[in-house]
């Protein structure tokens, strides 16, 4: 069973810890001036070059034998546009999603399925769209 967790998230770096049974792997994405690269345990797995239109979907296999058989397939999806709220949350990519056959292992930002959920109340809508908060029942007035 796979389990994943985002360890570092910035505008040019993403590090994801992946636990596969008894083994731990580190999946890294790096944005350089003219290319992006995906590394698994420090070894380059994929690269995308160019000024614009670089790849944002990568397929990877964990636990494959030396002849290329077996293993667990995952898909890394990236939204590399910077997040809109640089002052409150820091500068980082808009979204990250690592998905296995059974569903997402980790999802963040614009690629998190919860971002597609409609807010239940007007207050929830204000928080989601504008970052505004109206009174809190836990705080005294």
At 9-40, the pLDDT tens digits run 998 999 999 998 888 999 999 999 999 999 99
Q: pLDDT tens for residues 48-63?
A: 998 877 889 999 887 7
| Count of structural domains within the chain | 1
pLDDT at position 15, please?
A: 97
CA 59 to chain CA centroid, nearest Å: 14
Would residue 139 count as lying in a domain?
A: no
69 Cβ neighbours under 8 A, 6+ residues apart: none
pLDDT category at 136 given cuts 50, 70, 90 is: low
Would residue 73 count as lying in a domain?
A: yes
Full domain range(s) for residue 118: 2-130
Nearest CA to 20 among 40, 47, 39?
40
Would residue 141 count as lying in a domain?
A: no
pLDDT at position 131, please?
A: 56
According to DSSP, the residues that pair with 129 across neighbouring strands are none
Would residue 137 count as lying in a domain?
A: no
Mode of pairing for the β-strands spanning 13-20 and 2-9: antiparallel
According to DSSP, the residues that pair with 93 across neighbouring strands are 82
Would residue 100 count as lying in a domain?
A: yes
Nearest CA to 20 among 60, 54, 66?
60
- Say how many Å lie between the first and final Cα of the chain, rounded: 47
The model carries a pTM of 0.74
In 63-100 the beta strands, taken as DSSP E runs, fall at: 72-82, 93-100
Would residue 140 count as lying in a domain?
A: no
Would residue 136 count as lying in a domain?
A: no
Task: Compute the distance between CA of residue 132 and CA of residue 112 in angstroms, rounded to an integer.
Answer: 21
As given in the structure block, the two tokens for residue 58 are 């990568």
Q: Which is higher by pLDDT, 114 or 35?
A: 35
pLDDT, mean over the chain:
82
Q: pLDDT tens for residues 62-89?
A: 777 788 788 888 999 999 888 766 565 6
């Amino acid at each position: 069973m796979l389990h994943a967790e985002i360890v570092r998230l910035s505008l040019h770096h993403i590090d994801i810890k992946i636990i596969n049974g008894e083994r731990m792997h580190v999946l890294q994405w790096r944005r350089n001036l003219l290319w992006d690269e995906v590394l698994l345990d420090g070894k380059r797995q994929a690269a995308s070059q160019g000024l614009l239109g670089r790849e944002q979907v990568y397929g990877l296999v964990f636990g494959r034998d030396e002849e290329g058989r077996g293993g667990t397939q995952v898909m890394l999806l990236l939204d590399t546009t910077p997040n809109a709220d640089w002052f409150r949350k820091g500068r980082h990519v808009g979204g990250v999603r690592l998905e296995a056959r059974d569903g997402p292992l980790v999802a963040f930002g614009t690629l998190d399925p919860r971002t597609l959920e409609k807010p239940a109340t007007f207050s929830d809508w204000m928080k989601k769209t504008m970052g505004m908060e109206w009174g809190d029942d836990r705080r005294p007035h």
